Structure 1
Amino acid sequence: MLKRYIVHIDLDSFFVSVERKFNPSLIGKPVIIGGSEDRGVVASCSYEARKFGVHSAMPTRQALRLCPQAIVIRGTHGRYSQASREVTQIIHDAVPLYQKTSVDEFYIDLTGMDRYYDPYQMATDLRQRITHETGLPISFGMASCKTVAKMATNQAKPNGQLFVKHGTEKEFMAPFNISKIPMLGEKACEKLYQYGIEKIADLQKVNVRFLESLFGKSGKHILEKANGIDDSEIIPHSERKSISTEHTFGTDTADRRTLETILVSMTEELAFKLRSENKLASCLAIKIRYANFETHTLQEKISFTSAEHILIPGIKNLLKRAWNQHRPIRLIGVKLSQLCSGSYQINLFEDNEEQIKLYKAMDAINFKYGNKTVCRAAGMEINQRNFNPFFNK
């Protein structure tokens, strides 16, 4: 059986690092990227700010109480999307198989490459190339599986690298708190703490039946992770993946309100679909077909997002630019593309604390009772049967 060589790459304080490229005076200073002091949320922060207890998703006002000297930057998120694309292209050109899990995080599978090259040296060379070509600091961890590789990266930060050799996984993981296990949630940790299980070393000794009594079938999976066993595969990355929807009118229309109402509903539905799939889009497009079947499309790059309060103004602007208002429209469509995995965090540049809570509450209701249970008033005017969202590659 082949030894697996899995590399986890993470760009250090990504948003802060990008800002420092354009403003070197920020280097070495506590920096907060995010919203306003009154109602904003921390999207990212420098290591200098983290020393004071500042962290992502914390209200900005609380962060400034902890670190009054911090420099708050609203954020130029177009730069972050572009920097992410540049790093992705370098990785795409250098390795045979990789998975992009967020705008600043990747998994690479170098299994089998040891026949010809030293996998650790390959990862080292790639890290150096990314830093040289983009000017961004980056860390990586290498191990036999994704779980241990990610933990190795966290240990290597900032701006470092670490290889956990085969057979040493349990020993490497043992001293850490169980909260350091990737994807082990806060509630699961709280349950384990109640039984005195705090370190991964404690968890490694627990009987699987006990864990199954607490977590059901997930108990075995948790024990395997604690012991450095993770067979999950690298899912090949594709920038071409998209989600889209179209609407054909029974009667051609040139009424702006009708068109915008339908666009709002379609965009809202696609945004919900993105969030339910834990994805973000970085390209927005509109499709217009006139009565004579002449079809036009227009697209634009956007910052990574899944928030309709950002997407809807963008799609309305595309309608204004693409539509000859003297011509009735037969069909209209919306497409979100260049997707990557991610969640609410990337939207913190635009969202305040209340907006994030609102999205999470709306999504929780829609997940439970069905899409469109809660939506904008405009979206209620359109029958859900008119839409057929789909993924394609």
Structure 2
Amino acid sequence: MNSHYPKNGRVILHVDMNSFYASVEMASDPTLRGKPLAIAGNPQERRGIIVTCSYEARGFGVKTTMPLWEAKKLCPDLVIMTPNFDRYRAASKGIFDILRQYTELVEPVSIDEGYLDITDSFEKGTPLQIASDIQAQIKGQLDLPCSIGVAPNKFLAKTASDMKKPMGITVLRKRDIPNKLWPLPVIEMHGIGQKTAEKLNSIGIHTCSDLAHANDIQLKSLLGINGLRLKERANGTDRRNVDPESIYDYKSVGNSTTLPKDTTNQQELLIVVEELCAKVSSRLQQKDVLGTTIQLMIRDKFRKTITRSKKVANPIYKKEDLYHQAKDLFLKHWDGDPVRLLGVTAQDVVEKSEATEQLDLFSYKKVAEKEPLYNVLSKLHDKFGKDSISQGIKAKNKKKSYDQKQDTSFNKDFLRE
């Protein structure tokens, strides 16, 4: 069986669930099968947006992020359901439990997709046999469809899994790149969004082949170091390892909300900002992290979006501190146009245990007053351990099993709301 595996390289799978939320609902209620189904937030309100939809709904032109009114216009018989996050989390756990039966090297990247490094799993079969077995097992046990990419690295595996949906298995080798990847428009390449594609188009880069052969200096000038990284990807190079521990890394914690109607009332908008700060604060505390940069996002009725951020002197997590910074950003940068969406994000987060307070002219007295308390805490830590007592934010339980940790920090944040 070793002959099917490379001597020096890796074999990576990317498992991508097909129309995940809709598929979970169909597995739960078989009467939904074959019907155009959409999962949407707040179906009774104007702000309802399609989160995902079945392939039957897509046949009518319904798409993710489409407003509900537009989706209903395209498909009058559209069945609309609100998200059931507990059900989706349970299904996701079942999926990753299955994946870990094939290798310990499983890296979840979202609730419905993940990478596997099966290089050392040759006793379970050839790469294609393993991919086929995984697909059949997920379908048989959970009644959920998925597509799988098989490749020598994460980028190519992700690209391959997108090529055949639903229920596809695609192998993408480096020698396949000129025929399968290079003819594609750059916007279709994983890691390139609309804005980046427009920038690349502006210098004559329209296809993945153009990007693969682009001038390094020109790319770096346009996109910085990311330009060179994208060129490497277009040539099939990706040095990232499959990292099971990456699900515990968070760089930011944020919340956003679409308003029921376009709003210009400053007081109402600030109330929304304060509510968002309360949610961000709660999640920061759950994760035992603090934010060092606060970002505010404002989107107007024309979908024009601005984001503004500011670095704070000391890492913060309390609602009132977050709101003070976010309110300041809002008052400075809101131009008075009707607002459709607001978002608040704590960025560049740090572990509470690693955060160091930067004493300044205004805070050093308060900190000095707490010095006796700090001394007592230090003695308790020395006697009973660092995690025996903590201030403000709950202490972490470092003895949690892998599955318990997964339930609390899965996806670096997602579906918590």
Matched residue SS, 2:15: strand
What amino acid is aligned across from residue 42 of structure 1 in structure 2? I
Q: 2:26 matched to which residue of 1?
A: 20
Pick from 134, 138, 148: which aligns with 2:142? 134
Matched, 1:58 2:101: no
Task: Name the residue aligned to 2:111.
Answer: 103
> Is residue 254–residue 280 contact of structure 2 (8 Å, CA) maintained in 1?
no
Task: Give the C-alpha shift of residue 47 in structure 1.
Answer: 1.7
SS of the residue 1:121 aligns to: helix
Trace 1:1-393 onto structure 2 (pairs within 5 A): 2-35=8-41, 36-37=43-44, 38-114=46-122, 117-237=125-245, 241=248, 273-275=252-254, 335-336=286-287, 364-365=307-308, 368=311, 376=319, 387=392
Secondary structure of 1:94's match?
Answer: coil
Shift of 1:336: 4.8
d(CA) in 2 for partners of 1:311, 1:24: 37
- Aligned CA RMSD, in angstroms, stands at 3.9
Equivalent position SS for 1:219: helix
Query: For residues 105 and 150 of structure 1, what CA distance do their matches in structure 2 show?
Result: 10
String of CA shifts for 1:160-219, please: whole Å, max 9, x gaps: 111113422333211212112212222110011223322212222222222122112222
Cα distance, 1:391–1:206 mapped onto 2, change above 3 Å: farther
Q: Which has the higher contact order (CA 8 A, sep 6+)?
A: 1
Per-residue deviation, 1:379 = 6.6
Q: Is the 8 A contact 2:149 2:158 kept in 1?
A: yes
State how far apart, in whole Å, the 1-side matches of 2:278 and 2:323 are.
Answer: 16
For 1:182 and 1:129, the matched residues in 2 are separated by 27
Work out whether residues 34 and 43 of structure 1, in 8 Å CA contact, stay in contact via their aligned partners in 2. Answer: yes
What SS does the corresponding residue of 1:142 show, helix, strand or coil? strand
By how many angstroms is 1:42 displaced? 1.4
In the alignment, the residues of structure 2 paired with residue 380 and residue 46 of structure 1 have an alpha-carbon distance, to the nearest angstrom, of: 39
C-alpha distance in structure 2 between counterparts of 1:5 and 1:113, whole Å: 9
User: Relative to structure 1, is the Cα distance of residues 367 and 81 closer, same or farther in structure 2, using a 3 angstrom cutoff?
Assistant: farther
Q: Structure 2: how far apart are the matches of 1:367 and 1:378? A: 13
1:120-150 C-alpha deviation (Å, 9 max, x unpaired):
2112112211111111011101111111111
Asked if 2 retains the 8 angstrom alpha-carbon contact of 1:32 and 1:49, the reply is yes
Change in 2 beyond 3 A, CA 1:30/1:98:
same
Quick one: distance in 2 between partners of 1:336 and 1:51?
41
Q: What amino acid is the match of 1:7?
A: L
Confirm or deny: 8 A CA contact 1:2 1:111 kept in the other structure.
Answer: no
Aligned residues: 296
Change over 3 Å in CA distance of 1:22–1:166 after alignment to 2 = same
Name the CA shift for 1:169/1:200 in 2 (closer, same or farther; >3 Å): same
Letter of the 2:196 counterpart: A
Structure 2 Cα separation of the partners of residues 390 and 207 of structure 1: 50
How many Å separate the matches in 1 of 2:8 and 2:136?
A: 27
1:373 is displaced (CA, Å) by: 8.8
Q: Deviations over 1:213-246 (max 9, x none)?
A: 211222221111111111111111488x599xxx
1:116 Cα deviation from its structure 2 partner:
7.5
Q: Which residue in the other structure is 2:353 paired with?
A: none
| Residue pair 2:102, 2:124 contacting (<8 A) in 1 also | no
* Matched-pair contact (CA < 8 Å) for 1:147–1:228: yes
Q: Provide the rounded CA distance (Å) in 2 between the counterparts of 1:20 and 1:218.
A: 40
Cross-structure match for 1:321: none
Asked if 2 retains the 8 angstrom alpha-carbon contact of 1:3 and 1:112, the reply is no
- Is the Cα–Cα contact under 8 Å of residues 151 and 180 in structure 1 kept in the other structure? no
Residues 109 and 178 of structure 1, relative CA distance in 2, 3 Å threshold: same
* Superimposed CA distance per residue, residues 324-363 of structure 1 (whole angstroms, 9 cap, x where no aligned partner): xxxxxxxxx95359xxxxxxxxxxxxxxx99xx9xx97xx
Q: Equivalents in 1 of 2:95, 2:175: separation in Å?
A: 31
For 1:146 and 1:222, the matched residues in 2 are separated by: 14
Provide the rounded CA distance (Å) in 1 between the counterparts of 2:160 and 2:150: 7
Aligned to 1:263: none
Equivalent residue of 1:168, what SS?
helix
* Aligned amino acid, residue 3 of structure 1: G
Structure 2 segments unaligned to the other structure (5+ residues): 1-6, 256-275, 289-298, 325-362, 368-390, 399-417
